[in-house]
Amino acid sequence: AQSVSQHNHHVILSEAASLELGCNYSYGGTVNLFWYVQYPGQHLQLLLKYFSGDPLVKGIKGFEAEFIKSKFSFNLRKPSVQWSDTAEYFCAVEGESGGGADGLTFGKGTHLIIQP
């Protein structure tokens, strides 16, 4: 079974700082990767996803992530964070059968706090 590891459980940054949240997965086959975000009081929503092709993917709100197959990593980045980026961020990997049929395996999440 695959697993997802997020390195930081809590991150505190000041506005305009650069952000990188680490994510590593254990599955050795072809993977599809996701980052989800949960803003305070809101439902989980997709930030970005990687299926194939260019390993650098861009998502909403200026976020991007880079898939590095040799490192089993899919780190999330943003060059300059805003107070409104305060949220919980989850990395996820697709189920083994493909096509999303078995659901996604999620990491434990990173709680990001941006100080004004």
Partner 1 sequence: DGGITQSPKYLFRKEGQNVTLSCEQNLNHDAMYWYRQDPGQGLRLIYYSQIVNDFQKGDIAEGYSVSREKKESFPLTVTSAQKNPTAFYLCASSILVDGAGELFFGEGSRLTVL
Binders of partner 1 among residues 53 to 112 (CB under 8 A) are 90, 92, 94, 98-109
- How far apart are CB 67 and partner 1 at their closest, in Å? 13
- How many other CB atoms are found less than 10 A from the CB of residue 50? 20
Closest CA to 50 of 76, 71, 27: 76
Could you say which of 49, 62, 72, 86 contacts partner 1 (CB under 8 A)? 49
Contacts of 103 (CB under 8 A, 6+ apart): 95
Q: Is 45 in the site for partner 1 (CB under 8 A)?
A: yes
- List interacting residues with partner 1 (CB under 8 A): 4, 6, 9, 32, 34, 36, 42-46, 49, 51-52, 90, 92, 94, 98-109
